[in-house]
Structure 1
Amino acid sequence: MAYQPSLQRFLQHARNQPEKIFLNQPIAGSWQQYSFNEVEQQARTMAQGLLAIGLKKGDRVGIISKNCAHWFIADLAIMMAGLISVPIYATAGEKTIGYVLEHSEMKALFVGRLDDYQPLLQVLSNELPTISMPYPELQSFNGINDQSWQTVIAEQQPLAAVAEPSLEDTMTLCYTSGTTGNPKGVVVTYKNLASAAKGAVDIIGIAHTGPQRVVSYLPLAHITERGLIEGIAYELPLEVFFIDTLDTFISDVQHARPTFFLSVPRLWVKFQAQILKAMPQKKLSLLLSLPILGNIVAKKIRTKLGLDQVQVFGCGSAPVSEELLRWYQRLGMNIGEGWGMTETSGLSCGNLPFDANRIGTIGKPLPCVEMKLSGEQEIMIRGDAVFSEYYLDPENTEKAFTDGWFHTGDKGELTADGDYKVVGRIKEQFKTAKGKYVVPVPIERMLLSNSTLEQACVIGSGMKQPIGLVVLSDSAPQTQAEQQTVLEDLLTQVNSQLESHQRLDYLMVCQHSWKPENELLTPTLKLKRNEIEQYYMQKLPEDSRQKVVFE
């Protein structure tokens, strides 16, 4: 299959439609627009600035920022200068930032919009040059060796001859979100990302059906957003909108009116809770059941979320319950579940185009990869989108492959129609005191089928029975007595579907939600199981006779 590096695709679009708007950045209620030509000229000038400080081909340059227009421009500048980008999560702590700076052997760093600059300032050295993006927040960033974006642009001329990377060249070092231990640096080539982007375009079905708009708000440091939003934006192209703050999220999405919208399970649960807070489930179900009125109500809800123009909905990054997907289907929102990893350059398999009969599966592989199940039911994958090495880590690289097939670590099943299901992570299964293995993800999905819950984590290593740690959603009943009744019914319902060794002893309602900020979620909102278990172990009752306990 023929691919082109993302940089070449972008330059083609800039030549063919220089005045077309590419990036839309909100700042304090007003929108700054950047055409393809403006983005190209800024990127060329910044590329010259990077070379002017002595960087050479193959040097690593970091980007730490929330999603914004200058994230894209910085990434393009790095490519144009023949350098390698190293994204860092905007929510990363001091330890993670320090590790990535050192391990990647970073030579310069772009600093953008962050909620807290202290973790970064704690680990910055005098030797590492930084370039601060032109946003109001950067007034609180006092980097030791910092130049402002505006200064670099004013002092340099656009780079005349940009780099022409080959498909085999390294495009980025993408660090895993680190559910356990230090993150691993995945070496992603131009071919890896281009094949995943082109493969996604081929199956998503948004190719050339008129102007296409997306909102970039999931972390660009994560491969899903990098491949499915930034990668496709260069492939098609797309018009990209960003979010100013969490408070303006809905109004920014309403302004963008995206035609392709990607989210993660936790955010889909939050959207559901907001809807149910405004309209209880009983009333909503009644209205949706009425032939004409039901369609009007569903469209009003989509419009209020800013999603009335969406042609393709996607969900990925973590397991999602079938009930949640079917709930959204009744609102006219057909959400296709996708699967992929940092090591596979993003989306590798998906229920796209959406098929209601495939809900509960991750669909079929993209054209750029092959998948199979090992004898232990582990999903194995190979192909153009699959990485070839971890940076400076030959030992883990060797362990990751068998005869060219990458071990994903996901336990899977294959349906009669050839669709894949992810049952859970192989390393996440645990053994109870009875010596029986329990796979937590399917049980968590059952719990999360009830809109009362926003988060769930099943633990039980060495315990007589597993238990469920749960966080209530915004749509949960207000009183503890009502919560107890709903959760006792849910526990009975879930346990009735499980084998005896899998049944939950009780549910513990946790006071606070799990977030990246309290180190209980990764930046991509996956559970950090070890940390969650360690945190709550000391809070568990010694012997609970109740079916629901409160922290």
Structure 2
Amino acid sequence: MREFSLPALYEVPSDGNLTDLIRRNAAQHPDVAVLGRKVAGAWTDVTATQFLAEVRAAAKGLIAAGIQPGDRVALMSRTRFEWVQLDFAIWSAGAVTVPVYETSSAEQVQWILGDSGAVAAIVESPEHTARVESVRDGLPGLRDVWQIDDGAVAELTAAGAEVTDATVDERAATAKADDPATIVYTSGTTGRPKGCVLTHRSFFAECGNAVERLKPLFRTGECSVLLFLPAAHVFGRLVEVAAVMAPIKLGCLPDIKNLTDDLATFRPTLILGVPRVFEKVYNSARAKAQADGKGRIFDKAAHTAIAYSRALSTPQGPSLGLRIRHKIFDKLVYGKLRAVLGGRGEYAISGGAPLGERLGHFYRGIGFTVLEGYGLTESCAATAFNPWDRQKIGTVGQPLPGSVIRIADDGEVLLHGEHLFTGYWNNPEATAEALADGWFHTGDIGTLDEDGYLAITGRKKEILVTAGGKNVAPAVIEDRIRAHALIAECMVVGDGRPFVGALITLDEEFLTRWAKDHGKPSDATAATLRLDPELLAEVQRAVDEGNAAVSKAESVRKFRVLTRQFTEEAGHITPSLKLKRNVVSKDFADEIEAIYQG
């Protein structure tokens, strides 16, 4: 058993709640832009004073509608300015926000609203309204439904015209630090979603310590962050609250269809994302370079960036020759890549899945450091992250200041700290199982080094045991295989089987490019190419790269290229891109059997 902790850098208020932040910002930084709002395709600044006024206006409408302290109000929308406004408005009315993914099915909506006892829901679109209405008969406690695209904010503002600022501020003060701020439902990878109760204290401890430890990334009046993760996800909420706490300017994107353009116009200094985003940026840049006949130059530049970053971790540092090559490629390649990321950013924070050492070194080598972290819904997002000044690539960093990480005798990661959830809503049995002896049992397997840096090696429930008795942690090899530009998703199989296999889906964008470069028909698809010898050889190269990270007994011996993607709509992946292995295994049972036939 091993454990590591760091002293707290932020003193959690003994009382009060998150609405104190927006009043403090208006008082101390009245003219500072705390949010960016996109109007007619252009970004406009919202000052701390303006934001407080808009939050109060919406909160007045909620109070006029009869929302009481402690009531649960569902919020179902893409990531947009109104999400942040309404989240703080719900808190200002003394209520509790229940985020719902905008992609949730009617059945999921009914479960979350019903289980949480939501008395009202604010949704984004007509489609969302229809989804809620389709299960309305099963939600007897649901009174009001407002739609953002149908003027919900204006409707609430008008309804609360007679409510005073003093009334709102009085209501806002009803919630105390240990009262629930939100009930965030887990992604349901192992069963029905459970509602994690996160208090105002949880967010203060989480965001306060994270902002203090990453202070150069949160300079008021200088720094900004563009949020394009789902705001309904706990990682997105961390970004929202941390930006308001600092405060720095927060921009919200409802989709990433034009991410490059939005990065160029918003020009954030900090980017938050999942590894797939950073993989896409790298793969797109490499594919473009190859299409322009500059593939060899890009590959040399990437090799130099990785070597330069690795040398930064050595006592002697980069050699003179390496520094010269790095400087040349900075003008030819790296500067252009940084421009794609907005041109002002120096740091990004990545979570949700392992980034991988190769990409970690590549990005640090081009002058855009990606700090990898780790957390769960139950830990109010990040429970560990790499510090800006002492990054250790290949790990998810040190514990959040003020918290403790322990590795149990069986390798499970255990957590303790004020940032943790207080329990699962309406589920005391699951709470007792997860919070045993004052420690949260994450279900993840990991190690701590001598400096307290955590490495995650797998999940207890995802460990496969082959017929030969070999334990296999799928995440390591899956992440390496998925790093190939042609691979969209990879799921390792082999529990109770004679060897390890894999189901693989192809990235449709890069498949089109690959097919063109290899003389395949212009209308080629995964279905028409899945048995193509050249394609299979390319996929095999990706598998070989993955196999290099594990022992022979753990390596993938056979794979199947699937004709369709793993999708959120089909229930194969969660909104945060985690695989639902039981659903995939069921839907592709024939493909798994085909791996082991003969």
Normalized against structure 1, the TM-score is what?
0.91
1:116, distance to aligned residue in structure 2 (A): 5.9
Alpha-carbon displacement from aligned partner over 1:417-448 (angstroms, at most 9, x marks no partner): 32110011111112223333221111213323
- 1:144 maps to what in 2? none
Aligned partner of residue 103 in structure 1, secondary structure? helix
**Cα gap change, 1:10/1:496 in structure 2, threshold over 3 Å: closer, same or farther?**
closer
- 2:147 maps to what in 1? 132
**Cα gap change, 1:17/1:3 in structure 2, threshold over 3 Å: closer, same or farther?**
same
- Contact 1:322/1:449 (8 A) holds in 2: no
1:199, distance to aligned residue in structure 2 (A): 1.3
- 1:196 maps to what in 2? 206
Residue range with higher mean Cα deviation, 168-177 or 154-163: 154-163
Does residue 327 of structure 2 align to residue 292 of structure 1? yes
- Contact 1:467/1:505 (8 A) holds in 2: yes
**Cα gap change, 1:218/1:282 in structure 2, threshold over 3 Å: closer, same or farther?**
same
Aligned partner of residue 542 in structure 1, secondary structure? helix
- Contact 2:378/2:421 (8 A) holds in 1: yes
Aligned pairs (5 A) from 1:258-297: 258-280=268-290, 281-287=295-301, 289=304, 290-296=325-331, 297=333
Tell me the distance in 2 between the aligned counterparts of 1:285 and 1:265: 20
- 2:97 maps to what in 1? 85
- 2:339 maps to what in 1? 303
**Cα gap change, 1:34/1:355 in structure 2, threshold over 3 Å: closer, same or farther?**
same
1:113, distance to aligned residue in structure 2 (A): 5.1
Does residue 44 of structure 2 align to residue 35 of structure 1? no
- 1:484 maps to what in 2? 536
**Cα gap change, 1:543/1:396 in structure 2, threshold over 3 Å: closer, same or farther?**
closer
- 1:3 maps to what in 2? 12
1:13, distance to aligned residue in structure 2 (A): 0.4
**Cα gap change, 1:240/1:311 in structure 2, threshold over 3 Å: closer, same or farther?**
same
- 1:256 maps to what in 2? 266
- Contact 1:453/1:470 (8 A) holds in 2: yes
Does residue 344 of structure 2 align to residue 340 of structure 1? no
Partner AA of 1:248 in structure 2: N
RMSD across aligned C-alpha pairs, in angstroms? 2.3
Tell me the distance in 2 between the aligned counterparts of 1:128 and 1:283: 61
**Cα gap change, 1:189/1:544 in structure 2, threshold over 3 Å: closer, same or farther?**
closer
Aligned length: 532
1:55, distance to aligned residue in structure 2 (A): 2.0
Q: From 466, 471, 491, give the equivalent of 1:437.
A: 471
- 2:247 maps to what in 1? 237
1:312, distance to aligned residue in structure 2 (A): 2.0
- 2:426 maps to what in 1? 392
Aligned pairs (5 A) from 1:156-195: 156-157=160-161, 158-161=164-167, 162=169, 163-164=172-173, 165-195=175-205
Does residue 361 of structure 2 align to residue 351 of structure 1? no
1:544, distance to aligned residue in structure 2 (A): 6.4
- Contact 2:395/2:456 (8 A) holds in 1: yes
Runs of 4+ deviating beyond 4 Å: 113-118, 543-546
- Contact 1:196/1:368 (8 A) holds in 2: no
- 1:498 maps to what in 2? 550
Does residue 454 of structure 2 align to residue 420 of structure 1? yes
Tell me the distance in 1 between the aligned counterparts of 2:189 and 2:371: 25
Does residue 237 of structure 2 align to residue 226 of structure 1? yes
How many percent identity over aligned positions?
27
**Cα gap change, 1:269/1:511 in structure 2, threshold over 3 Å: closer, same or farther?**
farther
1:355, distance to aligned residue in structure 2 (A): 4.2
Q: From 482, 488, 500, give the equivalent of 1:454.
A: 488
**Cα gap change, 1:375/1:541 in structure 2, threshold over 3 Å: closer, same or farther?**
closer
- Contact 1:321/1:448 (8 A) holds in 2: no
Aligned partner of residue 424 in structure 2, secondary structure? coil
**Cα gap change, 1:264/1:50 in structure 2, threshold over 3 Å: closer, same or farther?**
same
1:248, distance to aligned residue in structure 2 (A): 2.5
**Cα gap change, 1:517/1:267 in structure 2, threshold over 3 Å: closer, same or farther?**
farther
1:260, distance to aligned residue in structure 2 (A): 1.1
Tell me the distance in 1 between the aligned counterparts of 2:389 and 2:272: 13
Q: From 400, 403, 408, give the equivalent of 1:366.
A: 400
1:468, distance to aligned residue in structure 2 (A): 1.6
Alpha-carbon displacement from aligned partner over 1:324-368 (angstroms, at most 9, x marks no partner): 222323322211110011111111101121545x21111110113
Residue range with higher mean Cα deviation, 87-96 or 347-356: 347-356
Structure 2 stretches of 5 or more lacking a match? Answer: 1-9, 305-324, 519-531
Aligned partner of residue 94 in structure 2, secondary structure? coil
- 1:141 maps to what in 2? none
Aligned partner of residue 569 in structure 2, secondary structure? helix
Aligned partner of residue 483 in structure 1, secondary structure? helix
Tell me the distance in 1 between the aligned counterparts of 2:260 and 2:436: 46
Partner AA of 1:514 in structure 2: F
Alpha-carbon displacement from aligned partner over 1:229-267 (angstroms, at most 9, x marks no partner): 111122111111122543332211211111111100122
